[in-house]
Structure 1
Amino acid sequence: MKQMKLENFQKAVLRLAEGLDEYHAHPSTTARDGVIQRFEFTFELAWKSLKVYLQDQGVGADLQFPRQVLKEAYATKLIDDQTVWIDMLTARNTTSHIYDDRQATAVMADIENRYLTALQALSALYA
């Protein structure tokens, strides 16, 4: 199960990058919204895979919530920029509950400029 979660996360990161490529080739609000949707499930898989990884390492058996997992992952140096990950959590929470075109545009910029790189770095750690 652990291996499956990690593999699913790695596949999601690849699909997110593909979505960005598609958006750049054919920019539209529909493509942008698709990238944001991919980001949401990629982030979900990211924090859940971190949780499994940490617990497998004997750290944080009581971790339940994304923010807890991210703080522990930073403390154990699995992620190197806690701010980016907390910002991702905030973005995921915002985009999955409220739709606002300005927020979507801002989240899209962050996915391109900040989040994808962090997600790819974590994916490489599991390779």
Structure 2
Amino acid sequence: MGRVLERLAVAKRALGTLEELAYREAPSPLERDAAIQRFEYTFEAFWKALQVFLREREGLEAASPKRAIRLAHEVGLMEEEEARLALTMADDRNLTVHTYNETLAQAIFARLGGYAQLMGKVLGRMMDEGRPL
């Protein structure tokens, strides 16, 4: 479980940086863009923690974020609605990497608070599951 706890710690730290900006009501363009950048690396840390957790705790392999999300739902780490939101989050993360425009940036920023809450819940569940028995 050492690797899982290490990945969870990295993801929690990344999430903390996202939370600093994700809930701003009227961010400047610079703050919005910084929040989106933080979302990108937080999502990466989140899904990689999920991947390692699934491998070490459940014996399941997930080579992609969406596969990890689907498996997390199957093993009970995410409820169905949470998994749907997480899949949307994965799509938004892909959009931030491949496309940039003002309208898209505003739309994604508006969803960051919900994504941060979801990642926090799931990371908390993995931390509870990751404690030695």
TM more than 0.5:
yes
Give the Cα–Cα distance (whole angstroms) in 2 for the partners of residues 85 and 58 of structure 1.
Answer: 20
Aligned residues of 1:36 and 1:108 also touching (Cα < 8 A)? yes
Query: Could you tell me how far 1:19 is from its partner in structure 2?
Result: 2.2
**Among residues 2, 23, 44, which one is paired with 2:4 in the alignment?**
2
1:5-57 deviation line (CA, Å, top 9, x unaligned):
11000111111111235x44x72001000001101111111111001001111
Per-residue Cα deviation, 1:80-105 (whole angstroms, up to 9, x for no partner): 21110000100000001110110110
The percentage of aligned residue pairs carrying the same residue is 28
Is the 1:2–1:53 contact (alpha carbons within 8 Å) kept by the matching residues of 2? Answer: yes
Structure-2 separation of matches of 1:27 and 1:60:
40
List alignment gaps of at least 5 residues for structure 1.
none
If the length of structure 1 is used for normalisation, what is the TM-score? Answer: 0.89
Moved over 4 A (4+): none
The one-letter amino acid paired with 1:69 is: A
Q: How many residues align structurally?
A: 123
Higher relative contact order (CA 8 A, sep 6+): 2
Q: Which residue pairs with 2:42 in the alignment? A: 42
C-alpha distance in 2 between matches for 1:75 and 1:43: 20
Normalising by structure 2, we get a TM-score of 0.85
